[in-house]
Structure 1
Amino acid sequence: MRILLAEDDGALTQRLQPLLEQAGYVVTAAADGRRAEEIGQIDDLHAAIVDLGLPGLDGLSVIERWRAAGRSFPVLVLTARARWHDKLAGFDAGADDYLTKPFQPDELILRLRALIRRSAGHASPRLQCGPLQLDINAGQFDLDGQPLALSPQEFRVLSYFIHHAGQVIGRDRLGEHVFDGGHDPDSNALDVLLGRVRRKLGLELIHTVRGQGWRLAPP
């Protein structure tokens, strides 16, 4: 799943980005408000983490412009501003959650997962498709009750499928949300990755829809 990290503190971005990627997200980073606003307008995001003190265009204005344009992905404000009126301004602008610095990275990831889960219409922290189950809070897949060992990219593939269970996922759409940066549609990297995931499942859970893509559905 693709998220935006809009943060002008380069050291904090370097600390958070690998942790978020390890948790299964494809992260696009922006160090100023105008770039963040542009990404949020054109990219297919699952969520955004936004610092209020962005240069160029402040975080509140970024969020307000997204909401005015009908962009509905969840937004988590991450800022040092802890006063109540700052929080109120963040929520009024259209933020969905507010976390003040300093913070624990694990709390950030848990809040982000909860926001994405709710925005996708999932009330439970567990998603299931047949014998496959994802514990969103723990970031762990189980197959028939047994933990499934996955690489970060394999986790991204399976996480994207289970969040969109029953939907046909095309090659370009899957590649965009699995690979960090551009994906060459002529490359076989996606096929190799998907083949590894299917072998680990050992079941016909990811079905090929000829000419369209793939779909996760019970066997």
Structure 2
Amino acid sequence: MNVKEYKFEFFNQKYTQKLVIKLLLVFIVLFITSILSKNKDFIVVGGLLSVIIPISIYLFNRKKIKKVGSAKIFENYTEFNLDNVETIINYRDIESYLIQHFEGTVFHLKLKDGRKFNISSNNRYCETFQFTVFAQDFEKVLQVYKTENQTDLIRSNTFFDSKFIFPFLIIVTVGFIFMIPYLIYFEKKLPIIPLLISIGPFIALWIGYSSNKKKK
């Protein structure tokens, strides 16, 4: 088979998790300190700083979140080069895998010796298209390997494969459909901003669910 090199962007999950925890702690400390001061001016200033400082820290460290990597898919193994660290994954060593497409792509391998190999490309931090192409091609090659070698390689269910996700989406959709006319009929003031904040992620879930069904 022709060996193609895939170049892509991914994000540093461990670094991002630590950064988010630090930002959350900074926010909590500044916010609580400003509230306990009981000084109105300090409360206002402290409240603003509790938002501005974490955002500034995030923007300053944002470049460290994104990494560049590449991979080459072979018949029996895939060779990864992630941020100049080379790793070879033999298909015979894989116990299960999960590939999920939602706001990017999550790529998770569980190896037979207990190790885990994870890569994520999230559209908040990265250009995700190239990694998504790689993940799709990887899964195709893995399926061929599984069929030809008759292995018990397991494809783990994604969040969108859950039997509860479709009923959940239907119930929430019906709730939104009835809530808006109800508020208008009883001349209630529509909470526009909270409504938009809640609808946005919900629409993203519908898109992710529909995309997953099409791919299957």
TM-score by structure 1 length?
Answer: 0.22
Structure that is richer in helix per residue: 2
TM-score by structure 2 length?
Answer: 0.22
